[in-house]
Structure 1
């Protein structure tokens, strides 16, 4: 069993005016085989947590620790974190003109696995994964995310998740910009990843609609840079009905799709 432990994590975003504190003591433990959902209002620090875990240079850790199977993630470079088994699906996947999806995926897999996958097996592996996500095979020769719709970009993120096969996936608002069909396909991909048994998922979302397709083991409410309440899937139902006013003191529309 693998474990991802976030202990009293404080972090800041670097701006032109200096470091702005965002994370204010995050505590969270995820075991393999579990899906944890983080929900909270806009600006609460959810995406900052995701990027801080991945090692984005714009975000600095001020104190606290992040342990992956006892190893200090914060002492690792970005590529070392990926090889250790940490994966980030971004809310806004970037375009990489001139780099084909096929080259990108094989290069990434080679870096994470430590050796280049055999071509014959790799081609079959990619075709199967693309078929499961309703991605046309012609996309493999297109530049990474260039000209992709929002749904296509998100499917590509889940395609990477499937092929890179990390220990823990941090999914930052993977449901944003998806229509009903794309939401179903992406959700199926996440469930398939979790069902491998030795995988953990940290699902960050503002809405509850993806939780109709992905059942979380735990739901955490994120407000003002930290987890302020945790519970089971029923907590998400409460948030859908009442919004986040109980946690923020601000009147906000209920979290509905």
Structure 2
């Protein structure tokens, strides 16, 4: 059983050469393995800031609080150490890495996380199987990472990484954004395959409820004003769908 704990986290974002602004204002959240927590909220409420600050993005600085993965404070680790410890971030805007093939990138990542290089034949079989599950053409293995990919292809590649790296805690930052109906279904099925093991905790950041029709959360949290304003079960997402975020936006102003 893995426990992921966010305790009293405050964080700033760099908005100029030297100017910083506080975005997170005391976030508390606990996610256990096998649980899926949906984080919803209006634009600018701090959802993505939370994701990137936890992952160690240099533009974001956690000024107080702790982020514990099975009792170990990941804030004391480098970015690569956080990944090896079992923390995974699927980015809202995946970046292109020209000149580095998908297969080489993924095998290097798997080697770093698992502690040893998988045999090439075994890895190729594993990679092709996961690509088939995500409806990614096999030719993409030799292409540069996300180079010339559509939005949906980039998001499928993020879930491909998730399947191969098998983290303990997965943070999915608006994985559903920019997806058409077919791509949303494929990506959701990939997330659900990971969830079925019961060994991964999932923080699913989203604006909309459409992905929650495929990836059913155990808990829903409303993010507003840099903190969690309300928590509940899956039914809370239905309330947000019908009422919107207006009352939370006002409360966080």
Backbone CA RMSD of aligned residues:
0.8
Q: Report the TM-score when normalising by structure 2.
A: 0.98
CA distance in 1, matches of 2:245, 2:73: 33
Residue 18 of structure 1 deviates from its aligned partner by 1.1
SS state of the match for residue 83, structure 2?
helix
The answer to whether 1:173 aligns with 2:163 is no
Residue 246 of structure 1 deviates from its aligned partner by 2.0
CA distance in 1, matches of 2:214, 2:198: 18
Q: Please name the residue that 1:2 is paired with.
A: 2
SS state of the match for residue 121, structure 2?
helix
CA distance in 2, matches of 1:195, 1:29: 20
Q: Please name the residue that 1:188 is paired with.
A: 189
- The superposition leaves residues 104-155 of structure 1 with CA deviations (integer Å, 9 ceiling, x where unpaired) of 0001111111110111111110010000000000000000001000000000
CA distance in 1, matches of 2:240, 2:100: 41
CA distance in 2, matches of 1:74, 1:6: 11
The answer to whether 1:13 aligns with 2:27 is no
Q: Please name the residue that 2:81 is paired with.
A: 80
- The superposition leaves residues 191-243 of structure 1 with CA deviations (integer Å, 9 ceiling, x where unpaired) of 11011111110000011110010100000000010001000000000000000
Q: Which moved more, 1:143-152 or 1:240-249?
A: 240-249
- The superposition leaves residues 9-33 of structure 1 with CA deviations (integer Å, 9 ceiling, x where unpaired) of 0000012151110000000000000
CA distance in 2, matches of 1:73, 1:85: 10
Q: Report the TM-score when normalising by structure 1.
A: 0.96
SS state of the match for residue 94, structure 1?
coil
Q: Please name the residue that 1:230 is paired with.
A: 231
Q: Please name the residue that 1:97 is paired with.
A: 98
Residue 249 of structure 1 deviates from its aligned partner by 2.5
Number of aligned residue pairs: 250
SS state of the match for residue 249, structure 1?
helix
Residue 167 of structure 1 deviates from its aligned partner by 0.3
The answer to whether 1:25 aligns with 2:26 is yes
Residue correspondence of structure 1 range 118-137 to structure 2 within 5 A: 118-137=119-138
Q: Please name the residue that 1:253 is paired with.
A: none
Residue 248 of structure 1 deviates from its aligned partner by 1.7
- The superposition leaves residues 166-186 of structure 1 with CA deviations (integer Å, 9 ceiling, x where unpaired) of 001000000000000000000
CA distance in 1, matches of 2:121, 2:96: 28
Q: Which moved more, 1:8-17 or 1:175-184?
A: 8-17
Runs of 5+ unmatched residues, structure 2: none
Runs of 5+ unmatched residues, structure 1: 251-257
SS state of the match for residue 39, structure 2?
strand
